[in-house]
Every structure is written in structure tokens, then in C-alpha cells.
Amino acid sequence: MSTSRPRPSFPAKLGKSIAIGAPAAAPVSSAQQLLKPAATRLGKTELPVQAQGLGLDSQVVRHKMVLKLQEQGITDPRVILAMGRIERHRFLDSALVNQAYEDTSLPIGYGQTISKPGVVSRMMELLLQAPSMLKKSPTQGQAKLGRILEIGTGCGYQAALLGQIASEVYSMERVRGLHDKARENLRPLSLPNVHLLLGDGMVGYPKGAPYAAIISAAGGDALPQAWLDQLALHGRLVAPMVAHGTQQALLVVDHTPQGFVHTVLEAVHFVPLKSGLA
Ligand code: SAH
């Protein structure tokens, strides 16, 4: 995808300078560099905000999406705020922009998809409902999660959302083209706490460990041991996994002083977790 592709064109006030603290093309093997503060601080970027005749105001449609999420049972104010704040249309190719606020997964290239807002918000809410978080913030207050590891950056949408509910986000992607695309998409948002890493998420990112939360946007057959090793005590992992036969389900793993407690939740449909780089 060329970096000069036309941007989705909802009316938007963007154009802040960027501080994504990670040189995006660096392999994980040189990942210690990625922890350096704002190694890549790029200049002020203005997005072209040209009307393309969509006749939609993104804030209004996004608000409707959030209302639907609430109808589906999302209650955490931190999730609701994040879903209302991050503009999903900015992560999509222009041909798909008018479907941006439907509760559907959409193609992002390289055979991958952006996850459904319903599933993304459900997974974030599960992270915030970890027993340790409820202790910190029993009335679903303002507490943020600590450091999060996300596997499967894709177009960067969920990474941006996670950046709203956590102090630091390390997001890994195995497909270089998507890693680059996510960097482009996130640039105007100025999220210095979101770090993009090119690498195989199945091995996690030990340099950032231990993580208060681990979230995967790709589903495997078995839980990689590295994820358990890198999950902090009292941390929570949420990932799609094959649970019974071929059916994927959301798996929650809590790291308790007594060990790892696994809970299998509803069926989901995510792209496969693959090993190695592409
Ligand atoms: N959260 C993303 C969803 C992307 S789909 C978004 O908001 O757009 C899942 C992504 O997981 C795909 O981009 C896929 O390439 C990636 N993926 C699959 N296996 C992976 C692995 N082992 N390490 C890192 N990324 C992986």
C-alpha cells in the first residue's frame, strides 16, 4: 500500500505531531532499540481532509456504534470512551470507509481483517475486569491497565484503542506490510505509549515483560508458553483459541498465586495465529 493513498474523509480535526516510540521496521532481534524513548519523532503531519461525498459525520455514526455496543452489554466507561474516541474509518481503505462503523470485520490487505468493534470492545472489557483491576477500581473507575502486549497489530486499530486504556502497549505484527500500514495509520494520532514491533508474536516480547495483560487478535490451536511466561502475576490474557475440535472460542487466562486459571467463553472467529515473519 502506498503511503500516499487517499485518506478516508470524515470531517476530522487531526494534524498533531507524532511520537510513536518505535522505529517501525526494526526486527524484534534488535528490539532493545524499540524501548528507547521516541527514537522516531516525526514532524507535523496534516491529513488531507477532503470531502468525498460520503455525507456522514464520523462522530455521529461512531456514537451510534457505541450505543449499539452498549445494547450488546458493554458497560465499562473506559471502553466506551475509547470506542467513541478512536476513529475506525481512519484505519480502512477509502472504499470501505462507509462500512467503518458497522459491527463487522473488514479486509485490511494481506488476507487479514480488522476485528469487529463488538469483539474488540468485549476483549478490552475482559482485560479491565481482571480480578486485580476490579480490586483497584471496584466501581469501574478510571484505573488504567499497566503494560499490555498485543499480538496481531493488523491495521493498528485495536492498538490505538488499547493505548487509551493502558499505560503502555507493545503491539506485534508478523506481516511487514501491515506493520508499516499500522505505523502510517497511527502516525496522526500521536500515541507515544503505543509501540509497534515487527516480529513473531508467538514468542512474545520478553523485553517488555511482565505484562499486566496480553491480548491476541489471531487464534491458534494452543496457547504459546511464552505468553504465560510473560504474563505478570495477577495479569490476565485474552485470546481466541481452538477449544473443542475446530471451534474457536475466547479464552481468558488469569495468573493467580495458585497458578493459571483458564476460562473458555463464547465462540469467536479470528484469523489464524501463524509463526515466523511474512
Ligand atoms: N487488531 C488488529 C486485527 C488484525 S487481524 C486490528 O485492529 O486491525 C490479526 C493479525 O494478527 C493479522 O494482521 C496477522 O498478520 C497477525 N498475526 C497472526 N499471527 C501472528 C503472529 N504470530 N505474530 C504477530 N502477528 C500475527
For residue 233, which amino acid is it? L
pTM, entire model: 0.83
Cβ atoms of 111 and 122 closer than 8 Å:
no
Predicted pLDDT of residue 243:
81
What residues contact residue 135 under an 8 Å CB cut-off, 6+ apart?
A: none
Nearest CA to ligand 1 atom 21: 201
Measured CA to CA, the distance from residue 112 to residue 207 in angstroms comes to 27
Q: Is 36 helix (H, G, I), strand (E, B) or coil?
A: coil
Nearest to 264 by CA among 246, 252, 248: 252
Nearest-atom index, ligand 1, CA of 155: 8
**Among candidate residues 149, 144, 143, the one with its CA nearest the CA of residue 170:** 149
Instruction: State the residue for C-alpha cell 476530522.
Output: 12
> Does residue 190 have an active-site annotation?
no
**pLDDT in the model for residue 196:** 98
Measured between alpha carbons, how far is residue 22 from residues 27, 61, 100, 144, 275 in Å? Answer: 11, 32, 27, 22, 22
Nearest 10 degrees: CA dihedral of 98, 9, 152, 184?
160
Which ligand 1 atom is the nearest neighbour of the CA of 91? 8
138: CB partners within 8 A, 6+ apart: none
Q: Is the CB of 154 under 6 A from ligand 1?
A: yes
Q: Are 265 and 243 in contact (CB under 8 A)?
A: no
Residue 246: what pLDDT? 80
Q: What is the pLDDT of residue 135?
A: 81
Only one residue has cell 495509520, namely: 185
Look at the domain 17-29+112-268 and name its fold: Rossmann fold (3.40.50)
Closest by CA to 114, choosing from 160, 68, 170, is: 160
Q: Which of 115, 121, 132, 171 is catalytic?
A: 115
Regarding the beta carbon of 200 and ligand 1, being less than 6 Å apart is answered yes
Instruction: Say if ligand 1 is within 6 A of residue 275 CB.
Output: yes
Nine cell digits for residue 259:
497458578
- Name the residue of 151, 164, 184 whose CB sits within 8 Å of the most ligand 1 atoms, as the mutation to test its pocket: 151
Residue nearest (by alpha carbon) to ligand 1 atom 26: 152
- Cβ-proximal residues to 53 (8 Å cutoff; 6+ apart), any chain: none
Residue 179 CA to ligand 1 center (angstroms) comes to 9
> Per residue of the chain (278 residues), what is the pLDDT tens digit?
444 455 444 433 322 323 333 333 333 333 333 222 222 222 333 233 333 434 457 899 999 999 999 999 999 999 999 999 999 999 999 999 999 999 999 999 999 999 999 999 999 999 999 988 888 765 656 789 999 999 999 999 999 999 999 999 999 999 999 999 999 999 999 999 999 999 999 999 999 999 999 999 999 999 999 999 999 999 999 999 998 788 999 999 999 999 999 999 999 999 999 999 99
